[in-house]
Amino acid sequence: MGSPDRLDALRPGDPPLLVDVPLAQVGESVRWHAAHQCLYYCDIHGQELRRYDPATGDHQSWTFDEPVGA
């Protein structure tokens, strides 16, 4: 099986996909947003919601006053 060009094209049995994102204190709730073509995840102890755009390599984060999670 070849590597998919898009994360939403992954199928069961495909090889693991590694994504280089900034280190999180405790990362969880990873979700692929198909319409945005971006990866979202929470850093619970860092109190951040993070977004990674694989097309541009850009990283964004939003900081909250409390721990975040889903």
CA distance 56 to 17: 17
pTM of the model: 0.70
What is the structure's pLDDT at 27? 77
- Residue type for position 39: L
CA distance 33 to 8: 8
**Does residue 2 have a pLDDT over 50?**
no
Average pLDDT over residues 29-49: 90
Question: Which has the closest alpha carbon to 60: 3, 70, 33, 5?
Answer: 33
pLDDT band at 49 (very low <50, low <70, confident <90, very high): very high
